[in-house]
Amino acid sequence: MSGAGPVASPTTVPEQAPTVSFLSNSSTTASVKIEAQAPFEAIRALFDHLHASPEDVAKLNATYAHRGVIKTAALHKTESDQKFTIDLSPMRNSRIPQEVRDSLAPHGLGEVLDFFNNLSAEYVPTILSSLSLLAGTDLSAAHKSYNMNYRLCDYNPHTADPKSLNGCGAHTDYGTFSIIFQDGTSGLELEETPGTWVPVPGDATVVLTGWCAVILSGGRVSAARHRVRRTPGMRRISAVLFIAPDLDVKLQPLGDAQPIKSFSEGIMRGDLDVETFKEVMGKRWRYREDNEEMKDGDSMSQDSEIEKMVWG
């Protein structure tokens, strides 16, 4: 299936300018240097402010009533991932009324939005071209609209289960790639071979490829499962930029080259578009993160359901 493999930064990265290497099961490698630093002080301040201001949480969540912007299920659910998240995106941000934006700007929101906006403009095209080399096909045509999500994570010790080691359950990201910034605290782990988890240094910036990259590249790019383990009593902050193909893109191997893995008939026919795939994945995320009830009552893991769709 999806071997582990994409993308961890080397352990000797200089702190100022981490070089992020894509490692793939093909012989080609590419790397990109990410010099940006996430504004962790601003992110911490934003979470602290929101943890103390239920009225601002309500205002922010009202801008995206469908799923909410800040997720606090971990406050009362021991079985969900023990973390808080703030989910932003260019689309969501445009819905935040000026008044709410202005009131949260001094509490870190301004700096956070600037960071993500600059990051996406500066690095997404470069990373897409590096990834295109590995994929053996040009990925940029499938990424015209910059379908992005910005996520802040607060692995906060004060949750429903302070002793839990589960910060974020094992999963593979759905999109093309994700850039993860960490505040120096370890906890992120990659699955190297099934069941073998390798810690990523807490100060490394990593780029992880996801399911969409696996499919579009015909299996030339692989995607690593990852998870976050908590250290009880220790706070850990991360910031993640997710890039996915445009919503109307059909998820099938691109270009003329033969896929190097065997995909399901549905994938080869182009039955699945990004929007539908995101819905299926989202249902599983919410199950893991918010413990949303599954209507069909089944207990299949997110990855096994996706593998069934992708590999047939």
Chain contacts with Fe ion (rule: CB under 5 A): 173
The token duo for 216 is: 């579009």
Q: How far is the CB of 157 from Fe ion (least distance, A)?
A: 21
The token duo for 57 is: 């949480």
Alpha helices in the chain (DSSP H): 40-52, 54-62, 90-95, 98-104, 109-135, 211-216, 265-269, 274-290, 302-311
Cα–Cα distances in angstroms (integers) from residue 281 to residues 11, 270, 287, in the given order: 31, 18, 10
- Distance separating alpha carbons of residues 126 and 38, to the nearest angstrom: 18
Q: How far is the CB of 141 from Fe ion (least distance, A)?
A: 25
Identity of the residue, 74 or 104, whose beta carbon is nearer to Fe ion in the bound complex: 74
Q: Which residue has the tokens 């299936």?
A: 1
- Distance separating alpha carbons of residues 66 and 10, to the nearest angstrom: 39
Q: How far is the CB of 174 from Fe ion (least distance, A)?
A: 9
Query: β-pairing, 70-71 with 177-182?
Result: unpaired
Q: How far is the CB of 53 from Fe ion (least distance, A)?
A: 28
Q: How far is the CB of 153 from Fe ion (least distance, A)?
A: 10
Q: How far is the CB of 86 from Fe ion (least distance, A)?
A: 15
Q: How far is the CB of 197 from Fe ion (least distance, A)?
A: 14
Cα–Cα distances in angstroms (integers) from residue 192 to residues 21, 83, 195, 214, 217, in the given order: 16, 24, 8, 17, 20
Q: Which of 120, 121, 143 is nearest to 131 (CA)?
A: 143
Identity of the residue, 23 or 208, whose beta carbon is nearer to Fe ion in the bound complex: 208
Identity of the residue, 173 or 303, whose beta carbon is nearer to Fe ion in the bound complex: 173
- Distance separating alpha carbons of residues 310 and 263, to the nearest angstrom: 6
Identity of the residue, 34 or 57, whose beta carbon is nearer to Fe ion in the bound complex: 34
Q: What are phi and psi of 217, to 5 degrees?
A: -85, 5
Identity of the residue, 159 or 238, whose beta carbon is nearer to Fe ion in the bound complex: 238
Identity of the residue, 104 or 204, whose beta carbon is nearer to Fe ion in the bound complex: 204
Q: What are phi and psi of 254, to 5 degrees?
A: -90, 160
Which position's Cβ is nearest Fe ion? 173
Task: Return the H-helix or E-strand segment holding 51.
Answer: helix 40-52
Identity of the residue, 56 or 173, whose beta carbon is nearer to Fe ion in the bound complex: 173
User: What's the full length of the chain, in residues?
Assistant: 312
